[in-house]
Amino acid sequence: MAKLYFNFSAMNAGKSTLLLQASYNYQERGMQTLLFTAAIDDRAGLGEIASRIGLSAHAHIFADDLDMFAYIEAKQQAGPLHAIFVDEAQFLSTEQVWQLARVADKLKLPVMCYGLRTDFQGKLFPGSEALLAIADILREIRTICWCGSKATMVARMDENGNIVDEGAQVVIGGNQTYISLCRHHWLERQLSPTKTEDITCTPAEATVG
């Protein structure tokens, strides 16, 4: 039975790398995949999924007005299709998440979504909230805070490198705008260690992936 998956993490955990690798694994076995990314995120170019380690692939774009079920159904009718991959899934609307659930249930296609869980204020994105509620499989992709503990939060910085607490939920940016932190240092608004802090961590805390 096909399932709806949500692979979530903080920033810079390698979500796009894992998506591209998983899609490649399908293609290597002669299977066809359909990739999506958000129209709002054009950092790598419109309709491009790119990882920090240099992997990239072209993708179809989604905005709020795209009926994901109808679009994917038409693609399936046009030719063989074996899996759906969605990058930046936090930008899906609630309705689109339900459409993707129908893709898994009615079209019998596995749907793998990758995205952030929360924004810079610690609040769920609408797409992430819906995925956490109805996805069949939830998988956390781990990354680490500067202290070595698991990073679960995302902080947004202004042009001077200071953490900001207010503003629009969606502001597209990379490492110069966002940093992943553990909950403790996100609450403390601390972006780096002080001279007296010991930032060593146990192997279990440092595990990524």
Q: What residues are annotated to the active site?
A: 88
Q: In this structure, how many other beta carbons lie within 10 angstroms of the beta carbon of residue 92? A: 27
Residue 176 tokens, joined = 């110069």
Write the CB contacts of 74 (distance below 8 Å, at least 6 apart in sequence): none
Q: 55: buried, middle or exposed (CB in 10 Å: 19+, 13-18, 0-12)?
A: middle
- Token couple for 162: 């200071």
- Any idea what the Cα angle at residue 93 is, between residues 135 and 42, rounded to 5°? 110
Evaluate whether 141 touches 36 at the Cβ level (below 8 Å). no
